[in-house]
Amino acid sequence: MRRPIVAGNWKMNKTPSQARALLEELKPLVADAPCDVVVAPPFVCLERAAQTLAGSAIGLAAQNVHWEPSGAFTGEVSIEMLQDLGVRFVIIGHSERRQYFGETDETVNRRAKAVLAAGLTPIICVGEQLQERESGQTGAVVSRQVRGALAELSAAQVAGSIIAYEPVWAIGTGKVASTEQAQEVHALIRKLLGELYGAATADQVRIQYGGSMKPDNAAGLLAQPDIDGGLIGGASLKAADFAAICNAAR
Among 28-37, 137-146, 164-173, 220-229, the range scoring the smallest mean pLDDT is 164-173
- Nearest partner of 124 among 163, 66, 168, 156, judged by Cα: 163
> Please, where are the H alpha helices in the chain?
16-29, 46-53, 79-84, 95-101, 105-117, 130-134, 138-150, 155-159, 179-197, 199-204, 215-222, 239-247
Mean pLDDT of 3-22: 98
- Spell out the CATH class of 5-239: alpha beta
Q: How far is CA 214 from CA 18, 26, 49, 235, in A?
A: 22, 16, 23, 6
Catalytic residue among 103, 128, 166, 186: 166
Output the pLDDT for position 250.
84
pLDDT in tens, 186-216: 999 999 999 999 999 999 999 999 988 999 9
What letter would DSSP give residue 157? H
Q: Which residues contact 90 (CB under 8 A, 6 or more apart)?
A: 61, 62, 63, 64, 65, 79, 82, 111, 115, 120, 121, 122, 123
Tens digit of pLDDT for each residue in 62-111? 999 999 999 999 999 999 999 999 999 999 999 999 999 999 999 999 99
Give the single-character DSSP code of 162: E
Choose the weakest-confidence range: 12-16, 75-79, 172-176: 172-176
Domain ranges of the chain: 5-239
* pLDDT for residue 171: 75
Crossing angle for the helix pair 138-150 and 105-117, nearest 10 degrees? 40
pLDDT digits (tens, 9 = 90+) for 33-45: 999 999 999 999 9
The fraction of the chain above a pLDDT of 70, given in percent, is: 98
Q: Active site residue: 94, 96, 103, 132, which one?
A: 94
**Helix, strand, coil share of the chain (percent; to 5):** 50, 15, 35
Q: Is residue 166 among the annotated active site residues?
A: yes
Residue 66 and residue 58: Cα distance in Å, rounded? Answer: 24
Average pLDDT, the chain: 96
Quote the CA–CA distance of 31 and 157 in Å, as a whole number: 29
User: Is 70 within 8 Å of 78 (Cβ atoms)?
Assistant: yes
Distance (Å, whole) CA 152 – CA 20: 39
Pick the closest to residue 155 from 124, 199, 92, 111 (CA basis). 199
Look up the pTM and report it. Answer: 0.96
Instruction: Give residue 203's identity as a one-letter amino acid code.
Output: D
pLDDT digits (tens, 9 = 90+) for 217-246: 999 999 999 999 999 999 999 999 999 999
Distance CA 70, CA 81 (A): 9
